[in-house]
Amino acid sequence: MKASAEDIEGAFDRAFAGLEQARENHGTKLAPREVGTVTALSMGIASVSGLPGIGFEELIRFPGDVFGIAFNVDEDEIGVVLLGDYAHLSAGDEVERTGRVMDVAVGDGLLGRVIDALGAPLDGGGSVDAGERMPIERPAAHIMDRAPVTVPLQTGLKVIDALIPIGRGQRELILGDRQTGKTAIAIDAILNQRGKDVVCVYCAIGQRASSVAKVVAVLRDQGAMSHTVVVVTEGNEAPGLAYIAPYAATSIAEHFMEAGRDVLIVYDDLTQHARAYRELSLLLRRPPGREAFPGDIFYVHSRLLERSTRLRKELGGGSLTALPIIETEAQNMSAYIPTNLISITDGQIVLSPTLFELGVLPAVDVGKSVSRVGGKAQRAAYRAVAGDLKLAYAQFEELETFARFGARLDDGTRKSIEHGRRIRACLNQAESAPVPVPAQIAILLALAAGLLDDVPIDRIADAERTLRELAAVIPAEVREHLDTGDTLSDEDRATILDMARHAIAAFLPPTTPGTGPEPEPGHREAR
């Protein structure tokens, strides 16, 4: 059946009418763009010209979706820190302003994930589900927005929780020579936050891939990844990524803190961060200072660590506790970066290679370690025994030095040394085995009362294990006082000590009464 001329004409009219409507709806939009040119490339940096309106730390887009941060904003050219693989870039490439600063994805979707400093997933778990982005550089909370540090952050390590306590919102530096167990302390602190509603962020800066994989495997095996975000930059990546990694991790942590949650962040380690910043600064022709570090390295680290705090209840009451890690060389704590960070933080945990070689783990040098604000947050049960223990341990270390010379010792000195050896043995702890609060209190009370002084030193580990098991059968009302941080009453203390005496009796020599010796005057129970 042939179409009539009227049908064909109507079809054309409808087609032309549609085209005319589409033409009317279409409007050309002009948007200004600033385009520059790469003039030179170096290891991790680029020099760019032709962007007169660029701002400091603004993000710049390079070919291949590589980004960079404007670091040096000079009159003729811009020094840019590259973030990512820059092997395909060359002089003459066009670059473009983005009009924004570097930001990172934040939110609950990051929990359990391993990401890089740009927020890209590294664990093969698909795209990161985050509904919000935050700048990596943010001002620290105002003084008036901060609350005192009054709540303890339990690490599960007896030597730290008892003698160098950490509070929520504190910044506690971990420093020591390489291979002395710095990362192990931080990982144990993360493992101990299971079931305590504390979000953890582990930031690996310039680490070997094998080391990071080992840490992630420990967190997964121990069931700690559900409350942890891991931010990773490997040692073979661009130094710009190592520079921005801790800032990105802190923004992720701040999102949870501002939501009213308690957060623990670990920077492992800021030595690599400082070296990356030194490398970038020297390549950008910034003048070097002490140890060739740029003059603003102190400000770089202080503006990072000042973001850790505890907020007032009106602002949600969240907290951000920082555990930065620093590597020293030959125990030189007076080097530039260690002294900077010691002055920025609220205390330091010093690890001794000598103790590590002797098998004292964790190898914490109690004499050089300090917590400037954590004592205010420490539980009352710890405070009742920590003072006497720290004094007895310090006396022991001093006497032990003299005893090595073969000097003749009186009975009181010998007893102090034997007591100190048992303190050191009881504070020893295996890796990835945090001890709960009731078990720690039982051990510390027994130590302070001198109940372990007659136990042979080779059986101290078994006696300490028995005391840990004792915590499971402590009466519920006493355990509740320990968990809530209330002051131990004389009845509670007597109950725990009586149970400890019966538990330790099996490890005493046959000639020693089963009830244990009377406490020495220097070992008296703290009131």
Name the residues annotated as catalytic. 372
DSSP conformation class of 435? -
* Cβ atoms of 422 and 455 closer than 8 Å: yes
250 annotated ligand-binding residue: no
Task: Give the start-end residues of each E strand in 156-272.
Answer: 173-176, 198-207, 228-234, 262-268
* Cβ atoms of 327 and 178 closer than 8 Å: yes
Q: Which residues pair with 167 in a beta bridge?
A: 152
Strand pairing class (198-207; 66-73): unpaired
Label residues 362-400 b or e (16+ Cβ within 10 Å = b).
Answer: bbbbbeebbbebbbebbbebbebbbebbbebbebbeebe
Residue type at 309?
A: T
Distances (CA, A) of 414 to 137, 254, 395, 400, 403: 56, 52, 12, 10, 9
313 annotated ligand-binding residue: no
Name the nearest CA neighbour of 231 among 118, 330, 138.
118
Classify 283 as helix, strand or coil.
Answer: helix
Residues 6 or more apart whose CB falls under 8 angstroms from that of 312 comprise 145, 146, 147
176 annotated ligand-binding residue: yes
Q: What is the dihedral of CA 114, 115, 116, 122, to 10 degrees?
A: 70
388 annotated ligand-binding residue: no
Name the nearest CA neighbour of 45 among 226, 277, 240, 241.
240
Token pair 């034997």 in the structure block, residue: 418
Classify 320 as helix, strand or coil.
Answer: strand
* Cβ atoms of 250 and 307 closer than 8 Å: yes
Exposed / middle / buried, residue 226 (Cβ in 10 Å: 0-12, 13-18, 19+): exposed
214 annotated ligand-binding residue: no
DSSP conformation class of 457? G
* Cβ atoms of 110 and 229 closer than 8 Å: yes
Name the nearest CA neighbour of 82 among 101, 103, 61.
61
179 annotated ligand-binding residue: yes
As given in the structure block, the two tokens for residue 476 are 């519920």
Name the nearest CA neighbour of 496 among 455, 460, 449, 462.
449
Label residues 271-294 b or e (16+ Cβ within 10 Å = b).
Answer: bbbbbbbbbbbebbebeeeeeebb
In Å, the largest CA–CA distance within the chain is 127
Residue type at 287?
A: P
Q: List the binding residues.
A: 176-183
Q: List the binding residues for ATP.
A: 176-183
